Amino acid sequence: MQDVATLLTATSRADLTDRDAAAVRAAIAQSGATPIATQWLSPQIACDVVFTGANRGDVSAALRKTFADAAFDLVVQRRPGRRKDLLVADMDATIIAEETLDELAAVAGLRDRIAPITQRAMNGEIGFEEAMRLRVRMLEGVHVSQLESTFDRISMTPGARTLVQTMRAHGSYTLLLSGGFSYFTSRIRGAIGFDRDIGNDIAIEGDQLTGAIDGPVLAPGAKHAALVRIAAERHVPLSETLAVGDGANDIGMLQAAGLGVAYRPKPVVAAAVAVQLRHADLTGLLYLQGYSQQEFRR
């Protein structure tokens, strides 16, 4: 059985070298495995080192220790079955750069009150549902026009659209799943091209937010449940799913997915999820699946 170690850096940096790949091959050999091939998925951005003959977990641990301070990401996984048929992606601070509730709070002049609660929730210091209801309560009376003003402040994470469009072009189903508001998930779905989105519905009366959630809160357990449910609906084994997120409420789905990737993770997530992207942009999720740059759809 072949395994693969993938080296990744940001597209904006494009500074991987043959020397980096050689250092990884040498470390793999020192751990008792046998490197058999080096394949560049994109020059200076992503490289696969294929190997056999050792416990994958032992090799991964050895590489993490050796390259802990390297300026690139390094992920070890089985080579067969890398391409996934279902993508489930968190929205805030993952597919988009911002936390939408914090941005809405800023537009409404409430950021100093709301942003610290968001940070505590993402770090797992306060229950997600409690934090959501507390923050939304502070938004009572905010005019609906400020939702559109907030959307105008949002920026897509580099590689997000390429990730979704490439996976869809190759037959995968894509879901945007967020503990934020469906007002934003529906618009991000349309802008990037997800097949489906799920978020919380914020209650509105007339032209103002009521300070309440309309229906149940999409809490952390609901993200895991949604991954399992959509995979079953699509007849996709969990081993063939890919999930990506950054916050504490994403941990369950990241641990359940065939490939769960912590993107720029909060500390509590970094401690719980082994596969992490700290340098590569979201196209790194394509390289981890073995896509070459020539296969990307932009």
* Lookup: tokens for 29: 């050999």
* Lookup: tokens for 66: 């050796």
The answer to whether residue 48 is catalytic is: no
* Cα–Cα dist 13/298, whole Å: 19
How would you class 38 by CB atoms within 10 Å of its CB: exposed for 0-12, middle for 13-18, buried for 19 or more?
A: middle
Contact between 8 and 75 (Cβ < 8 Å): yes
Query: How far is C-alpha 77 from the chain's CA centre?
Result: 17
The answer to whether residue 281 is catalytic is: no
Which 3-state string (H, E, C) describes 91-106? HHHHHECCCHHHHHHH
Catalytic residue among 73, 92, 102, 197: 92
Cα-only R_g, the chain: 20
Beta-ladder partners of 243: 88, 260
Cα angle at 82 between 78 and 86, to 5 degrees? 135
Catalytic residue among 20, 48, 73, 90: 90
| Residues that are catalytic | 90, 92
